[in-house]
Every structure is written in structure tokens, then in C-alpha cells.
Structure 1
Amino acid sequence: MKSKRGCMHPKISIEKESIVIELPLTTPKGKVRVKRRINNFGYPIATKLNPFQENDYIEWQISYVSKMGSLPFIKFLDGKLGYENYMSCKKT
């Protein structure tokens, strides 16, 4: 599902007592991407060119953005602060 900026976002729905998440695997360097673990390191792969293998996994960047705008500092339960570097979806 595309946003106003043309970004692809996950689609979440509930179907027959299951949560279904559609992840837009459009680019190997996008917010949702498939990586292949080789020697304990994950390398992005192009899913249109490479079939899935047993050592592949999905990496999904979670953005902490509210209707009021981006939240630069998030306080976690353990007392540590996290920083979210919110980038708008622009082609570079």
C-alpha cells in the first residue's frame, strides 16, 4: 500500500483468527527487506531475482512516528533513550 509520498508500507489485517502482515519487498535496501545470512552477517538480496533460501530472513525497520510528527527521543522501559532518525521517502 502506497502512502501520499509514494512510499510502500506494510498492510496489516486480521483474517480467521490470524494476523496477516503484507510486507512490501520492493527493494533490497528499503524499510522492509530480505537478507541472506552468510558467515553470521546479513546481506540484502533482490527477491525478484533470487529465490528464497533457508538462511534468508526479513528485516523490518520500525518507525516511531505519530500524527503530531516524528518523535526524536523515545524512552524505553529500562530507562535508556532511543533516537529515531526519521527520513521522508525521497528518491536519491
Structure 2
Amino acid sequence: MVKVIYGNYLIKSGKAEKAIAQFQAAIGDAGEDANVYYNLGLAYIELKKYDLALENAHMAYRLGFPLPGLKNRLQRAGAWREAPVGSAEIPQMRE
């Protein structure tokens, strides 16, 4: 949880790349946590890496994340697509 909080601080400080490293480490620690994937998606949006943001958004929503903010931001960027039916793979940790 500390890595997620620190990652959110880094995003707000304009350090999205460092935030991504924190969120990826949190995934390694926590496994399938919708909150981590959601925040990782937000960090990728800050870097305009919309494909990676979309992968993480799909994972967050598949895991039950309730807030639409990430989807809304992807829609505004013209990058939102519904997840393919039956898609349940975990996004790759890449940049």
C-alpha cells in the first residue's frame, strides 16, 4: 500500500515514470489489485502511453474497480476501446 500512495504522490509531482516503477513493484507485492492497475493506468496517461493505460484500465475494471475516471480520461484522449470478450490477461510490465 505504501508503494501505491508514494506512486500517487509521484504522479501529482509530475514524476509519472517513477510512479510507474512504484506501481509495478506494488503489483509484484500485491498481485491482482484493481487499485494498483487503475493508478498505473493513470500514470501511463500522464506520459501519453495510451495503449498501456488502456491495458491497465481493462485489468482494473475486470477486477471490479468502481470509478470511471480512467475510462473517462481515455475517452477524452480518443484511446478508449472496450476489452475484447474473454480477455483476462494481465498487462505486461513494459514501457
Both proteins in one fold, TM over 0.5: no
| TM-score between both structures, scaled by the size of structure 1 | 0.28
More helix by share: 2
Give the structure with the higher percent strand: 1
Greater RCO (Cα-Cα under 8 Å, separation 6 or more): 2
Q: Give the structure with higher Rg (CA).
A: 1
